[in-house]
Amino acid sequence: MPRKKTVTLHTISERLGLSAHTVSKALRGLPGMSEETRKIVLDTARKLGYITKQQQISLAVDRIPVFHTKPFRFVFIQDSDSPMMITQQLRNGIRERMEDFGHLLETLTFSGTAIKELSAFAWAEKHGLFYADGIFLPPGLPFAFEQQLLELRLPKMMVNFPPPDAKVDSVIWDVTSAIYQSVHYYYSMGHRNIMYIGNIDQQRGFKQRWNAFNEAMQEHGLKPDPDMHMNHYVGSKEEWMRIFADKLATYKPTGFMCGLIGNLSLVFKVCGQLGKKIPDDYSLIALETIKKEIITDLSRPVLPVKETSERAVDRMLWRIGNPSVPYEHIRIQGEFHKGKTVRFI
């Protein structure tokens, strides 16, 4: 892949039909234009691979390699059995950022059967993983297989919450602040009896959401019955719905904190069967991570998936340029969108 041609302010201004002065103001965050124009300029600059002088200086200070006559080749590893939409968003975001820098990202998919028959080392060797310049490990990987991948002698970046003792860099959105934002908003709207929904046993990040929920509730002096919540695995959808309906009748929550987006369809189905509506009867906040909302104007903490992807690429390149420095764990904080699914009581 040839090195990208130099992109200047004039390149962007000609592409958009704007003055170079306007483009410069947009990139520096200065006032004097609409947010729509600013967004168009920033998106175009990113797509063209434009790097400001400040970014060039920062990259040089951190010894981050950007463009090379020979591009780096990275691999994104994903589980073919994982239905997580967030994995696709992360992969696409990382690929776009790598292309901005002139590097390559390939996807390597495994199945549960393959990893049972081979060790991670043998699997990596079979698929030429050791010829890659680095690997990205997203959420949803089986714990045992993930642990073996972490032991491979390759630059690694977890786009997930790392194990406590893992020797690896990580970048992930800050679910702790997301849950705190949600509970604080519920409290400001008069809610005191909030039910948490989401299996906490599947991923480390899911357990962090539950811990953050308890800590945020306690900060407001709220201690709901531990049996009230839908936070553990239930065998079938029918059984889950039956237990959920029983708990609604027993504990009478005023709102739901849905930590996993996959539970929303079941929540709405049970509410429909009971003749209940959101937000008239139950308020709802969910960690929405897909572009198409399941409900119009959902109240939610906005998880910065795109920003996480971009930061993960930057830190991977930084790691290559700084192989001996201590590992870093970065949390990206998003905003809270109030939406229309929380009713004041």
Per-residue pLDDT of the chain (345 residues; tens, 9 = 90+): 444 457 788 888 888 888 888 887 777 767 777 867 877 887 787 777 776 655 554 555 555 555 555 789 999 999 887 656 788 889 999 998 888 788 899 999 987 666 676 788 888 898 899 999 999 999 988 888 999 999 999 999 999 999 998 999 999 999 999 999 999 999 999 999 999 999 998 788 999 999 999 999 999 999 878 899 999 988 899 999 999 999 999 999 999 999 887 788 899 999 999 999 999 999 999 986 554 556 788 999 998 998 999 999 999 998 988 888 999 999 999 999 999 999 999
What's residue 182's pLDDT? 98
Residue type, 57: I
Assess whether the region 9-50 and the region 175-302 belong to the same CATH fold. no
CA atoms within 13 A on the CB side of 101: 26
What's residue 269's pLDDT? 94
In this structure, what are the phi and psi dihedrals at residue 137, rounded to the nearest 5 degrees? -115, 110
What's residue 3's pLDDT? 45
Pull the structure tokens for residue 114: 């393959």
In sign, the C-alpha dihedral spanning 113, 118, 120, 122 is negative
Distance (Å, whole) CA 270 – CA 240: 10
Is 243 strand, coil or helix?
helix
* Residue closest to 173 by CA, chosen among 186, 158, 184: 158
* Residue closest to 65 by CA, chosen among 126, 133, 7: 133
Residue extents of the structural domains in the chain = 9-50, 73-173+304-334, 175-302
Q: Bin 192: left if φ > 0, else alpha if -120 < ψ < 50, else beta.
A: alpha
What's residue 63's pLDDT? 57
For domain 73-173+304-334, give the CATH number. 3.40.50.2300
What's residue 291's pLDDT? 47
Q: Bin 75: left if φ > 0, else alpha if -120 < ψ < 50, else beta.
A: beta
**Fold (CATH) for 9-50:** 434 Repressor (Amino-terminal Domain) (1.10.260)
What's residue 137's pLDDT? 96
**Fold (CATH) for 175-302:** Rossmann fold (3.40.50)
